Amino acid sequence: MNETQRMKELAALLHQASKAYYAEDREIMSNFEYDKLYDELVELEKKTGVVLAGSPTVSVGYEAVEELPKERHESPMLSLGKTKSREELAEWLGTQKGLLSWKLDGLTIVLTYREGKLFKAVTRGNGEVGEVITGNARTFVNLPYQIPFHGELILRGEAVITYADFEKINEKIEDVSARYKNPRNLCSGSVRQLNNEITAERNVRFYAFALVKAEGADFENSREKQFVFLKEQGFEVVEYKAVTARNVVESVGEFEERVKDYPVPSDGLVLILDDIAYGESLGMTAKFPRNSIAFKWADELAETTLREMEWSASRTGLINPVAIFDPVELEGTTVSRASVHNVSIVRELKLGIGDRITVYKANMIIPQIAQNLTQSGSLDIPEQCPVCGAPTKLQKENDTETLICTNPDCDAKKIKSFTLFVSRDAMNIDGLSEATLEKFLAKGFLHTYADLFHLDRHREEIVEMDGFGEKSYQNLTDSLEKARHTTLPRLIYSLGIPNIGIANAKMICREYKNDLSKMLKAPVEDLSAIDGVGPVIAAAFHDFWETEKNRAALEALLAEVEIAKEDFMEGEQPLSGKVFVITGSLNHFENRNVLKERIESLGGKVTGSVTKKTTCLINNDNTSNSSKNKKAKELGVEVITEDAFLELYMNGGDSNAD
């Protein structure tokens, strides 16, 4: 076992011991043994000059930034020329030795080390200007914090997320439609986070694939020796194999055999000349360097029959064609649908129902139509929107023809209002992300809010939808049943009345003691007189009910839900005129929202920040240095615990909290 491997082993053992001791209240080794292993790791780090990512001897502080600054690369990062021919690789290589490696599918990063420490990390961006993500790079799980080389070192590599970590992260997202589509998208979003604590949770890894500069170092004109050098510095280098024209075709086959089971996403291979000087002497084209070339896997094609064209309306008004065909096996999975993107592609392929087509997965991921073998050209472009039935219209922009719905009130465009309706402060319906709602609207499942409570009419279709299944459907059904039991303020807020937030809805409902009939008939003058409402909000509330469509929507909802009864005290309520701020964790109440609702039911107000009008700040850790505690002390606002609040303001703790 070499020194680097021993360091990795020690780090893993020490982390395992710490987790058992601090998080699980058990010991798997004695303190003596722990200290012995820790000291061994420290000595190895001193000896090698390498401090690996995740080493127990260091810790990474988390930070958040408002934006990622841009920075121009010292030299442009060009794309590679591509081929799908193995024989072309042999011809390209000629008499030279080359290095054949995975072309990893993630986000390219440029790292700069100075005096042995990471100085800067920048994304590829557009090849000329990238984003600085240094804080995020420090959380990559296999990136060395410190290296023995102390000259300026610049290298390039790929940040990736393994398939296993991708699956683990997606499993934690209950809403199937909100899950990440592939590891590359997840990686890109993770690397470019504004808060590097989120990046740290994603297990991003870095694999070096090119050394740009190593001040003063001599690699005897060999790329392979550069790779060996990078390994000695503690970097994980992309897996490679030295090849010649004689064995490159065979070697490509070996890589291809392994790609389906390879733990890291790869969309091909890269072949680079080992002779540095010769490679650089070849120069570059306008787009590509001549010292390297990319090999893309030949797409697996399957022949099938086009059975249907589904026209899917979106919130932008676009109506997008989706091809439905007889199921075929591609890259190890069964596919039966492929987006055709726009009308121009439909016409270019001369599609018609019953045509024989070939399909493939772009980059082994996204199903696409490759070719139409029969080209009947008989497919009709719909003249009516599949959602609302309004006339459609063809529009052309930059030589691309698309289909749009002409109805400004098309249900497919109502995505934002439905998103508000199901949100936490409104009807609080889990499992209905904006993406899922868009699918339901596009399929015509939803026309009014009340339709949400009758999705059982479309059970079979929902269960068969991408990302759904029996379990997801049952979870959604359970959430909808739970949402049937709600409060009147939540229901009022969910309707999306202009200028009416949840707090305003609560004030109005409290003033009229949940008498909906009185509320709907209330004149603007009376509504304006409610403390905290005012003329603008009052007018918006009044005018909303003047529209028959809005009244009908409410009536339909009232037939589906059960409004919780509330007790309204006669006269002035005990917390009337008092303003509270809540922070930190609670002991007696389930969460801060529960306590907030309790305070408001007794006439009090709850705000998000401490001001001179604040009666008191409720914080069980009243000695903390949080910003709210500091502000309260500056303004002379009392900071009290939850127990003290119950004693002082709620009759000795009669809170109904438990």
Report the C-alpha dihedral over residues 581, 585, 590, 593, rounded to 10 degrees: 30
Q: Which of 473, 441, 435 is nearest to 456 (CA)?
A: 473
Tokens of 85: 């021919």
Which residues participate in catalysis according to the annotation? 103
Please name the residue ranges forming H helices in 443-533: 459-464, 470-483, 488-494, 502-511, 516-521, 524-528
Q: How far apart are CA 350 and CA 371, in angstroms?
A: 10
Residue 187 neighbours by CB under 8 Å, 6+ apart: 106, 107, 159, 160, 161, 202, 204
| Phi, psi values for residue 437, rounded to 5° | -60, -40
Do residues 263 and 241 touch, judged by C-beta distance below 8 A?
no
CA distances from 302 to 31, 257, 366, 371, 600 (A): 61, 20, 14, 10, 63
Cα dist from 600 to 50, 323, 486, 568, 616, whole Å: 58, 53, 16, 11, 15
Q: In sequence order, what DSSP letters do the residues of 130-186 get, joined into one string?
A: EEB-HHHHTT-TT--SB-S--S-EEEEEEEE--HHHHHHHHHT-SSGGGS-SSHHHH
Query: In which element (H, E) is residue 550 found?
Result: helix 548-558
| C-beta separation of 255 from 308 below 8 A | no
Q: In whole angstroms, what is the distance from residue 138 CA to residue 113 CA?
A: 12
Q: In the structure encoding, which two tokens stand for residue 460, read together?
A: 């079979």
Sign of the CA dihedral running 119, 124, 129, 131: negative
